[in-house]
Amino acid sequence: MKQYLLAPGPTPVPPAVLLAMAQPMIHHRTPEYEALFADVRRDLRLLFQCKNEVLMFAASGTGAMEGAVVNTLSPGDRVIVVRGGKFGERWADICQAYGLHVFPVDIPYGKSVDPAAVAGALERAPASKAVFATHSETSTGAVHDIQALAGIVRRTEALLVVDAITSLGVMDLPMDAWGVDVAVSGSQKALMLPPGLSFAALSDRAWERVPLARLPRFYFDFVRERKAIAGNQSAYTPAVSLVVGLRETLRLILTEGLPGVFARHDRLARAARAGVQALGLTLFAEHPGAACTAVTAPPGIDGGAVVKGMRKRGITIAGGQGSMKGKMFRISHMGYVDPFDVVTALGALEMVLADLGYPVSFGAGVGAAQRVLQA
């Protein structure tokens, strides 16, 4: 049976990228690797839309999240964390693990943060050193208005630190133009690679804070890594094959052009949303992003059963996490995904829902998506 990977990470890897990564291994302390890394450095800055270097680590995106915390803060610092899903909560978990005082801004799952709530938190906790937010909350499908948050945080001494793991290469996030101080991401989402690379980009304002930070760090030492990058190297052994693949995926993204990439993801997302709503289903997110479509499970049907049914038909999607388990399911449309993947997923969803006893008008979801894609 043919397999379709439509979970929100890992995502499908293009064949050309797989072929590049299958080439014979090269040593990372050679001119060949340095030339490769020079290309990657240049293109990462274009992707992040920033002038400063983008740091790269052999780790999942959580590694860059931890690095963002320990390189900008000191023991006992107060921070504001927007918690609207599992990954907003992860920011809080990391900060608490390092003994920081977390001032939470809690948002119901599926909702997007009101920028005024963050402004109010900054007024109540004026000594806060950082505000942590998530651009695209993968666990709920919701997107947060980072541009508005940046405008608010920029008026204070706090840094705005953003999880862009699911949004980078999906939705516009002009880091420098908006005033984001730290943006982190990972390889297994819209960058169309296997898991294993994490990235962190810092503004000038954030770099000024790094020498003052006193939290412990060794591997995720941003100063050491920036020094190594200047020589087209990494401080420690890089994930060489993934870096080879990264050069290829960045070429694909930049050849298409960022405006085209964002428009493509938006179109696929609109098609997916139209399809599930035509089936009488409800979107879980109030303001959904373009990375994945989160759907509330119909009454009487376990979201996990939908996920299992789709898998039996060769399509991998994702269910709810934590307290959302069984209440929802998520279909990804980021990275190496095209219109026919979305149509295929919706066709399978119609069949799975019918298997589970949900009243389905076959073709309703597929047709609604096709009308969006045909426009």
226: Cα within 13 Å, side-chain hemisphere: 14
> What's the CATH code, domain 258-374?
3.90.1150.10
pLDDT value at 337 more than 90: yes
User: What percent of the chain clears pLDDT 70, i.e. is strictly above it?
Assistant: 100
Where in the chain are all domains bearing CATH 3.40.640.10?
A: 15-255
Following DSSP, what letter does each residue of 111-175 receive, concatenated?
----HHHHHHHHHHSTT--EEEEESEETTTTEE--HHHHHHHHTTSSPEEEEE-TTTTTTS---H
For residue 199, give the nearest of 45, 15, 362, 359 by alpha carbon.
45
> What are the tens digits of pLDDT across the range 213-257?
999 999 999 999 999 999 999 999 999 999 999 999 999 999 999
Domain 15-255: assigned CATH number: 3.40.640.10
Q: What is the pLDDT of residues 3-54, one digit of tens each?
A: 999 999 999 999 999 999 999 999 999 999 999 999 999 999 999 999 999 9
* Residue spans in the chain of domains classed CATH 3.90.1150.10: 258-374
Q: What is the pLDDT of residue 375?
A: 87
SS3 (DSSP) at 79? strand
What are the tokens at 348? Answer: 């399978």
CB-based contact 150:178 (threshold 8 Å): yes
Residue entry with tokens 């608010």: 152
| Structure confidence by residue, pLDDT tens digits, 252-271 | 999 999 999 999 999 999 99
**Triad 51, 56, 60: Cα angle to 5°:** 130
> What's the average model confidence in pLDDT over 146-170?
98
Return the bridge partners of 101, or none. Answer: 78
Distance CA(5)–CA(352), nearest Å, equals 17
- Please report how the helices 258-278 and 240-256 are oriented relative to each other, as an axis angle in degrees rounded to 10: 90
Residue 149: which H helix or E strand, with range?
helix 146-153
Report CA dihedral (176, 177, 181, 183) to the nearest 10 degrees. Answer: -70
For 100, the token pair is 């920081």
Q: How many CB atoms lie within 10 A of CB 151?
A: 15
State the amino acid at position 220 in one-letter form. F
Mean per-residue pLDDT for 130-136? 98
Q: What is the DSSP string of 257-282?
A: -HHHHHHHHHHHHHHHHHHHHHTT-E
* Mean pLDDT, the chain, whole residue set: 97
Asked if 255 contacts 266 with a C-beta cutoff of 8 angstroms, the reply is no
In tens, the pLDDT along 358-367 reads 999 999 999 9
* pLDDT at position 180 over 90: yes
CA distance 309 to 319: 12
